[in-house]
Every structure is written in structure tokens, then in C-alpha cells.
Amino acid sequence: MATPVLVVGHKNPDNDSIAASVGFAYYKNEMMKRALAQNPDAEEYEYIPCRLGPLPEESEAILSEYGIEAPQLIPHVFARVSDIMSAPVISLPGSATLLEASQLLAVHDIRSIVVTDENGKYAGVVSSRKIAERYISTVCREAKEANEQSASAIAADLQASLTQDIMSLVDNRPMVVAPDDLFNDVFEDLMVNELREAVVLDENGFAVGIVTRSDVAVKPRRKVALVDHNEFSQAVDGLKEAEIVEIVDHHRIGDVSTNQPIHFTNVPVGSSATIVTLKLRDAGIDIPEGIAATLLSAIMTDTVILKSPTATDVDREQVEFLAGIIGKDATEFGLHVFNARGGDAEMDVKTLVTADSKEFKIPEGTILIAQHETVTLDAVMQREEEIREFLRELKEKNGYEFVLLLVTDIIAEGSNFLVEGDHKKIDKVFGIDSSAAVWMPGVLSRKKQVAAPLLEA
């Protein structure tokens, strides 16, 4: 069975984070196929694209349009019961005999068997100890009566005891846990449980696994590949208890650390999807139309249709290559992606502000810089007071020094700064008075033109 590796982007995922997880998982799985073709005995991994929040509207639109499955939503990467349980479950229906149970226990060298009801759902367990106790009690009783019965009669009674159905010995005291229960929550209870095991049930009451004390002897670490970020503050909860196996990113090198050397691809380009495209091309892997469209959409949104100062010649080359695969004009496709975000006048204010937002640490504390890219700037600015009220709520709730929203007009090529909180640092760094909305011509990149100057100040 292949070991899963979760390919996950940052919190508050943007289109690049989603596309990079989809594209990089595809790349790694294709490379895995090659490795297995060369060596069928090689350790097998399955790379699973994941996300940490709702799909951006443009991501959902493009994935749906091209028939690509959305990344799996995960809440954390803490070790779970499903990471340690033994499966599939060895089970028998309640109508089975003690002899059948004894034979199955011996064949599989296990201590107990799950018993199911007439619907196949969990009813309890029967242990080898219980069967032995029943058999021994029968032997002892027959020994007392040995003078009154023939040897053949005693043997017949012993045989009859093993033809009883196992439901007569079922024990429903074992711990019952769910596949997604956390390892840490189950560990202590299991160690003091007299039956020394737990049965794992799915949401419908079917047994899907068994956990014993030996299963929890070594705490598992889920394998994770990070894309489009490399900072703990932006990463999935539980990352410090997981095993990071690879990182692909185009941002500054942050504070994520590993116990072992890993492949860390960090390239100064405009999009993580650009790096994934390069990896696919370098490996000579055919890129399906859906994967190409997904990657292209991310490069175009992250570089603001190649207008951002973060856009490089490498990005432009990959855009031309991917546009050729899907047979569309890159700029028209980019506008199509931006328009998929929906109307700014109707968009929920929380989505408008937080869909693309990132926390950063400065000496004064933590700040939040959000960005909303639009082709209808007036529609957004007509909601300024509503937006500011939400920014103030975010600041108070999370204790930010300030919250900055960039409302970026990709046609006019600039951004309005909306700031709530202590804006002295912003005013000093950019030479503005941000007590009211300020138009910043040419400012398109949060990373290069906004976050970097603030972090360096």
C-alpha cells in the first residue's frame, strides 16, 4: 500500500497555492510511476493535493471547467488513529461458531476478532482468552463427571462447546474510536485499557481498523510536502509533529526547519506554479490540458497577468508554453480567470478581505496584509466603510498591529491602500498618509512592493 504524502499550500489559500498543490502532486505521482517501472520493489508514495481553506472562486471555476478534482480540505496534520490502525479488520458474523473463531485467530495470529451483526456492523469482539476460558470450563466440568460418562461422550460435549455461536461470548467493552481521532487523545486511554485494544468505527458503525498497544509504541509522523510557503505561521496546524519531505516555493526563506535534508526548490519567480511547470518540463512529462490550465491560471493571477514587478522572463516563457497546450490567448485567459471571481458588489466582505491574506511578523508585532485584485475598482470602493469595519474587527480579534488591504486594479495597474490600526509604520515606509484610502500607482505585488519594504524597515 502506498504511503500518502500530503501536498499542501498555505492558510487562506490563493489560486497559486491551490494550483501548485494540484500540479506538484501530479508531477510527483508521474515520477513515482517511472520509479516503480524501473524497480517494482521501490517504496511507493501517493501524493495527495490538499488545501487549508475554501477554494478561491477562480480556482473553483477553472478546476470545474477542466474537470480537475479539487484538493482535499484538511484541518491539520497531527497523527490520527487512521495513521496507526491495522486494517482491514478480521471479523466474523455473530452466527459463526467458536471453532471458526478459534481457527481464524490461529491463522492470523491475533488475540481477538471483531464480531458483526446481521447488517455487518460492529457488535463487539471475541478474544482467544474468552474462547479458552469457555473450553477450559467445559473440560473441568467434564472431568468431574468423568466417572459417569464415557470418553466419547466427554469428547462430544467438548466438540459441542465449540459449535456454539460466538455471539454468546461477545464483549462490547473495548474502546471505540474514530479514524480521525487524534493519536494524542487516544494514547493514554489505550495504555490503561484492560483489553489493550480499540476498535475503529466509521461514521456508519462499521469496523474499519484495530489499534493495539503495540500500534502506539512509536508515534507516527504524517508526510507533508509544502508548496507556495515555508513559514510556520502560514502552514497547516500540526506541521511541527509531521515530517516535511519537500518544499517548493517562490517566497523568501522562512522559519520552517527539518530534521533531515530535503529537496527545497526556492526560485525568485512570480508564481509557485511556474516552478512546478519547470519541473514537469525538465522531466519530460506530458502535461494534460486540465493541469496546464490550472497552472496557467495561477501564474496569471499571481503575476497580475504578467504586469506585476514579480513577473520574470521565466514566468513569461511558461505562460507561452502552457497557453499553447490549452490553445488560448494567455491575456484573454487571464482576464477570464479574474472575471471568474464574481461580482465585487455582491461578494461577501469576509471573502473579499481574507480570501488572499497573510500574516507577517514585524518588531512591533503581527500584521495582516490582504489583497483583492479586481477589474471593477469602483464597485469595491463603494463598500469602503463596510470593508473598514471588517478590518477593524479582524485587528481587534487577532491583536494585529494593523491590517492592510490592497485593492488592486489590474487594468489601471495600481492599488488602493485601506489601513486599520497603527498606520505610522506604513506612512513612514511609503511616505503617505493612510488615515484615508490612498491610491498607489504601479503597486501590484504584495510580496515585493509591500511586504518586503515593511519587513525590512
Domains, the chain, ranges and CATH? 3-78+222-339 (3.90.1640.10), 91-216 (3.10.580.10), 349-456 (3.10.310.20)
The C-alpha atoms of residue 155 and residue 158 are separated, in whole angstroms, by: 5
The C-alpha atoms of residue 10 and residue 18 are separated, in whole angstroms, by: 9
Segment 305-329, tens digit of pLDDT = 999 999 999 999 999 999 999 999 9
Segment 91-102, tens digit of pLDDT = 999 888 888 888
The count of residues in the chain is 457
> Looking at residues 284-305, what average pLDDT do you find?
97
pLDDT of residue 144: 53
The C-alpha atoms of residue 74 and residue 80 are separated, in whole angstroms, by: 12
Looking from the CA of 211 toward its CB, the CA atoms found within 13 Å total 31
Check whether 157 has a pLDDT greater than 70.
no
In the chain, pLDDT over 70 holds for what percent of residues? 93
pLDDT of residue 154: 47
Element (H, E) at 32: helix 15-38
Looking from the CA of 194 toward its CB, the CA atoms found within 13 Å total 4
Residue 142 grid cell: 467434564
The C-alpha atoms of residue 226 and residue 240 are separated, in whole angstroms, by: 13
Segment 70-86, tens digit of pLDDT = 999 999 999 999 999 98
Predicted TM-score (pTM) of this structure: 0.79
Residue 297 grid cell: 491560471
| Other CB atoms within 10 Å distance of the CB of residue 435 | 9
Segment 229-286, tens digit of pLDDT = 999 999 999 999 999 999 999 999 999 999 999 999 999 999 999 999 999 999 999 9
Segment 412-435, tens digit of pLDDT = 999 999 999 999 999 999 999 999
Query: Reduced to 3 states, what is the DSSP secondary structure of residue 357?
Result: strand
> Looking at residues 331-342, what average pLDDT do you find?
91
> Looking at residues 146-166, what average pLDDT do you find?
57
Alpha helices in 113-182 (DSSP H): 128-144, 151-161
> Looking at residues 134-149, what average pLDDT do you find?
54
